[in-house]
Chain A
Amino acid sequence: MNNRIHKILNTCRKTNRKALSIFITAGFPGIDATPSIVKTLEKAGADIIELGIPFSDPLADGPTIQHSSDSAIKNGVTITTVFDIVAKIRRDSDIPIVLMGYVNPVMAYGMEKFMKTAATKGVDGLIVPDIPVEESGEYREFALHNNLAPIFLAAPTSSDERLKQIDAASEGFVYCVSLTGVTGKTNGLSDNVSGYLKRCKKCITHNPILVGFGISSGKDAHDLAPHADGIIVGSALIKRIQNQRNGDYYPEINAFVRDLREGLDNN
């Protein structure tokens, strides 16, 4: 497989650049906001965009993403809306786009139809945290068939053997969850994250590894950069948008992403 994700991560590898992937809930804080937010993220140094499909019961997420997901649903966001947002972004951007969502809305839409439409609209990859490798048969088949990268998650509790299976099932990259827990932890990285990432590197040989969960500062980015091919940041950015209640959050998210970028680059 070769799509925008592979291309950017290949370029990163050749130029010694650590990839920065940013997660934002699609349609949060408003449906029209997402394409402009993505533009800002791209300009500030993001390499990959993850768009969250909102779900009523996001059980791998902490309060920040639960909240952004709830408000997107209240804004009327459905999978169709998310596809429209992707199409809009694609009018003037070639940044790799990964959709991240729970399995139920995807099933309700229809797995095969979802993959076909996603590919047509310009999606490059998929992250579904509640589909482990064991349940991935049909999901993975339809994704691969449509040139979409099925990105599986690895966890600190995954055995070496599982890490190898996850690597074999994944395309694009493997999403290494930095901690045992849900998204949104902001009080620093867990102590043994470097040891865990070393183990990931040893077992995951076909795909680059991007580490995510609990990364909330340029310093975190800097500390993690030597141990992975890139990082993923979500809640910390969404929190910055949530905190700018009536204001203009663009300067804030621009500064935050630049800070992350700098943390990755100054290594």
Chain B
Amino acid sequence: MMKSYTQPDIRGHFGKYGGKYVPETLMFALQELEDAYTGAKNDETFQNEYHTLLADFAGRPTPLYFASRLTEKYNRAKIFLKREDLCHTGAHKINNVIGQMLLAKKIGKKRIIAETGAGQHGVATATVAAKVGLDCIVYMGREDTRRQEPNVNRMKLLGADIIPVDSGTQTLKDATNEAIRDWVTNVRDTFYVIGSVVGPHPYPMMVRDFQSVIGRETREQLSQRQISSPDYLVACVGGGSNSIGLFYPFIENDSVTMIGVEAAGYGITTQQHAATLTLGTPGVLHGNLSYLLQDANGQVMPAHSISAGLDYPGVGPEHSYLKDTGRVRYESVTDAESLDAVRELSQLEGIIPALETAHALAYLRTLLPDTTAGETVVVNLSGRGEKDLGTIFKELHYT
């Protein structure tokens, strides 16, 4: 059964979610960006440059890998991994950054700012900024600069300025606040490269479109293996960009079950988690209406996850819509389960996944027993785990 999916509407609303809840100062920049993005869709030069960079610089297409030993372990559905970890810089983030950076150039902005949690978006932004020759400033929570230090060093080497953020929980939410304050101040010459399907319209739509290359390639790579359609798609959800990138091209195909996996931190019965869709309520943070971890008075609650990239109390507005409509199922996985999954994939398949990605992998233990041998599961392997070795060694007590 196919039905057509047309979100968002012209004003950037996914059902009741999304929109542009930002200070007036930014409204012209959002319009400028929307116009540039709409123009770029039919601009052959832009499209050529974009696709060339995806291929020659980012290394696309990424492989769709059949995980034979992981499949054997469960002895049910076939498990495939979409290898975004093999992208240049080590995660899916660069797919989006290349698109936004070319738009920044097209609009004529001289200065690039970004927020980062795990540092993967920061590294991707610093990388592409270096490649096109633009100044780059990255905001990063102080706590994240500690737990993702290898990425801080990479960004420095790439010539970016890193500004550690000491407010709040010193994580992604606070880095985003500071990036928005910088943007409000320097909006005339500054382009804000947002790292996930969050922020005000047109970002959630635009980032989704740039990341959809993941799902489009997956569909083609499956069909090369005579698999007309996957049965399950699984991806981790921080802001929600790698998941929507995999899901979106399949969204009208009802036979595909889609599962987004959030971070349950110490557990969803504790106060320390980042399971926004599972436990949050609708609210406005960082320019859009979406599910949000907040208290009864509308104050945003601190999130917790071992994974810096999932440690965020908000989530992209399209996911809120997909949750309410039931099109996507959202589950959650704890810190401990994700660490186990890191070890498992490393030792069964020779692939060290990022802690973010490990949340999607950990959910396979719940999902696989319910599948059958003829079925296909695709997991988005959103990033690689080198950045997390410090945390992983500490937590798994390696010496």
Contact = CB atoms under 8 A, between A and B. Distances in A.
28 contacts: A57-B173, A57-B286, A60-B23, A73-B299, A103-B284, A104-B283, A104-B298, A104-B300, A105-B297, A107-B282, A107-B284, A108-B281, A108-B283, A130-B22, A132-B23, A135-B20, A155-B25, A155-B27, A157-B25, A157-B26, A157-B27, A157-B28, A157-B29, A158-B28, A162-B27, A177-B23, A177-B25, A181-B25
Given A108-B283, A182-B181, A182-B185, A56 B21 contact: no
A16 B287 CA distance: 39
Contacts of A66: 167
B168 A153 contact: no
A108 B296 contact: yes
A78 B298 CA distance: 9
A131 interface: yes
Contact of A107 (B23, B187, B283): B283
Contacts of A130: 21-23, 284, 287
B303 to A, nearest CB: 12
Contact of A155 (B11, B23, B186, B284): B23
A162 B298 CA distance: 30
A208 B280 CA distance: 41
A104 B177 contact: no
A158 B29 CA distance: 10
SS class, residues of chain B in contact with chain A? mixed
Given A104-B284, A132-B22, A109 B188 contact: no
B11 A180 contact: no
Interface residues of B, number: 37
Interface string B338-366: 00000000000000000000000000000
B163 interface: no
A177 B298 contact: no
A57 B301 CA distance: 10
A-B pairs, top 5 by smallest CB distance, nearest first, are: A108-B298, A105-B298, A181-B185, A155-B25, A56-B299
Contacts of A129: 23-24
A25 to B, nearest CB: 14
A66 B180 CA distance: 14
B8 interface: no
A166 interface: yes
A129 B282 CA distance: 19
A56 B19 contact: no
A218 interface: no
Contacts of A107: 282-284, 298
Given A107-B298, A180-B186, 10 more contacts: A55-B299, A57-B286, A59-B181, A66-B167, A104-B298, A107-B282, A108-B283, A131-B21, A166-B24, A181-B185
Contacts of A158: 24, 27-28
B285 interface: yes
A30 interface: no
Given A66-B167, A104-B285, A157-B28, A79 B297 contact: yes
B28 A104 contact: no
